[in-house]
Structure formats: structure tokens, C-alpha cells
Amino acid sequence: MFNPFTKKNEKFEARPRTYLDHASATPMLPEVFTAMTPYLTELFGNPGSIHTEGQTAKAAVTNARTKVARALSVQPECVTFTSGGTESNNLGIIGVVKARHESGIPYEQIEIITTLIEHPATGKTFEYLGGLGVVVKYVPVDEGGQIILSQLQALLTPATLLVSVAYVNSEIGVIQDIGAISRVISKYTKQQAIDIFLHIDAAQAPLWLPCELSRLGCDLMSLDAGKFGGPKGVGALVHQKRVPISPISFGGRQEQGLRPGTESVASIVGFAKAFELAQSSWQSNAEKVGALQQYFYQKLSELIPTAVINGVVSDARVVNNINVSIPGIDSEFAVVTLDVAGIAISTKSACSSAGGGASQVVQTITNDTARASTTLRFSLGLQTSTQDIDRALTELAHHVAKIRA
């Protein structure tokens, strides 16, 4: 039996890998590693300390916060560094609801809106709040995965506090029209003279799309450095100054009291550098990788003509995502087979994959259980080549042929 930990398999381990799972994790950019290195070695102080070493670390965090705030057109105090996208989503969603509850409004009189195709970091948070009595509403999406704006408008009431959606869906890559969603909400809030906040999970966006809050029309944004060339284990919640947020964890006064605990200085410096690089080059990134996406579609139709694309195939899809269903395959077996051949892909988002089973996202947009059970997600990166695509699709085509034979 194959054992990847034995010396006998050194030749196998040395084989070149083809990595097509950039929606799960991206390689750290060299410039990011260079920026972080001093804070992993000689500049190791605790930013909460008042001595020179501590103040040097604090200055690095402050500088990083200022850079991110400037790029997103918010005040520095509106950038809260977290452990990643999941914590940012939790803090943004629960923190806003908790602040409203602490103002004297019972949970049962608070309404929040999302979709059934969100990442578990959002979906599970809404489930938790529903258990507290908060009224949770789900706005329908069309067969491409985009929110039906008329249905969103119909769900808004004076009790609505928050709408939360992914800017880019982590499984099918659909880009929600955040501006259009914001306009629907804004029109209603002006009529009713109330506040409804729009939160977006933008973890998959910075390398390919603009993320400035005022440009998009959102009030809160969650980010994850591991998805755009930065270190894993660091993210940010960014919000407009008018948004009230209560902490959901307790301890020291770090991060304006919203996120206690000693800051990971090196990671925060890495976050800021990666975000700066991503947002300064998103247009050229999108152009380059968009051409690869079109090449992928062409090769897929030639080699596996029975494959069906899940989600929109248009400008409303992020350029690095291809999600397909292939009739008759076991998607997890296909992922393992390609992995043994040196190719990394996935069935769905990494957080969703941990539980196995069919894709809830594809099930929701297609209402087809067989299709939702045979999904594969390819996510391209800045280093991806046409040779990588050729290799992956050739191996997959061989696997499909064997299964059908």
C-alpha cells in the first residue's frame, strides 16, 4: 500500500506539483515574506509593552493599519485585525447584532438577511443568531447564483438590521453586484429613516476586484490574507465609522477593544503588504488570469464535453474560478486520484469539504442532487500556466474515461 511517509516514495514526493486550489490557499508573495521577516526575528516585541521593543512593534501595527485603511478609504480605527476571514465574519455579523441588542432591542425584534449559498463562516453564524431568537431570512438567488434584487427588496422591513453576502462566492465564483444590492437597501432606508447595514465577505476578492468600501457601497467587509498572497491566520474586519459593533470575545483593549489578545505583528505587517500588492494590481491580475480561464473552458469542452459549468459564465464570475459537475463521477475520488498524479484541486470550499457530502451551493442554484454530488472546483492563481491546465484536464479526462469504462 502507498505510504507517503516512507523513504521508498522519495521519487514520488519529488514529482512536480500542479496547484489549482488557490481559493483555499495562496502561496505567500516574496515581498510579503521580506516585509514580515524582521518581525519574526529581531523585532519581536509585544506591541502592548511601553519599552522600546514594544513601541517598535506597536508602530509596525499602526503603520499596517493605516495602509489598509487608506486603501479602503476608511479611518484607521475602523480596521480590526483578526485571525482570518471566519473570525472577521463572526465579529462583523454577531458584533452588529449584539450592539443593537445591547441598545435595548430584544433579539426577536431584530431581522437579518443572507443567502443559502454563503461560506460556512457566514451561514453558521446566522444559524447561531437564529438560535438566540433573531429572525433570519434567506433571499433567493437565480440559477447563476446572483441575488434576485426584487426578492431582497420584498424581505426588507423596519426591523431589518443587517444584510450579509459574499462579494465572490468561494465555490462557484459568482460576483454579487454589491452596488445594486446597496442601492436597494439605501432606497428603503431613506424611505423608512432607519439604518440597515450591508456586510460583505470579500475573502476571495482582493487579487481580482476593487475592494474600496465607498466604491462598493457596503458598511462592513471581511478579509483573509491567506487568500491573496499573505500569511495564513490573519484577517481583518473593516467597517464604516457609523457602524456600531460590540466585542464578542474578552480580554485586553487591543484592536480598539474589539479583538483582545496580543497582536501577531509579523502577520499584520504581511497582511498589509499583501493587500497593498493585490489592490494595486487587481486589474492586470484579472486580465492575465481571465485569459487562462477562457483557455480552461476551451480545453474542458474538448476533453470532457459532458462537463457542466456551475454558476454564471460571464463577467459576473471571478476570473480564477471554474466549478464543474461531471455526470457519473465520485468527486472526492476524483480529487484523490488527481492528487496522487500530482495535481491539487477541490470539490468545494475547504471549510465545507471537511464535512464531505454534496455542495449546498450547487444544490441551491440547480436543485439537482446528482449535479451537486459531482462537483469539482478549479481555482487558478497568478503562477498558473496553460501547461498546468493541460496537465490537470488531461489527467481528469483519463480518470473520467476509466470510470465510464
Q: Active-site positions?
A: 351
d(C-alpha 279, C-alpha 215), whole Å: 13
Look up residue 157 and give its amino acid. Answer: T
Contacts of 61 (CB under 8 A, 6+ apart): 47, 81, 263, 265, 268, 269
Vertex 215: Cα angle to 222 and 119 (nearest 5) = 30
In 3D space, the residue among 171, 160, 183 whose CA is nearest the CA of residue 114 turns out to be 160
Cα–Cα distances (Å) from 311 to 143, 144, 324, in that order, read 7, 4, 9
Contacts of 175 (CB under 8 A, 6+ apart): 167, 168, 209, 315, 316, 317, 318
d(C-alpha 235, C-alpha 263), whole Å: 12
For CA atoms 259, 264, 269, 270, the dihedral sign is: negative
* Lookup result for grid cell 493585490: 278
Instruction: Kindly give the residue spans of alpha helices, DSSP state H, lying in 193-230.
Output: 213-216
Cα–Cα distances (Å) from 92 to 77, 148, 307, in that order, read 15, 24, 38
- b/e code 25-36 from CB counts within 10 Å (16+ = b): bbebbeebbebb
Strand 111-114 with 160-166, pairing: parallel
d(C-alpha 237, C-alpha 45), whole Å: 24
| Structural contact between residues 89 and 221, judged by C-beta atoms closer than 8 angstroms | no
| Structural contact between residues 84 and 270, judged by C-beta atoms closer than 8 angstroms | no
* Lookup result for grid cell 502561496: 27
* Lookup result for grid cell 473520467: 400
What's the gap between Cα 177 and its chain centre?
Answer: 16
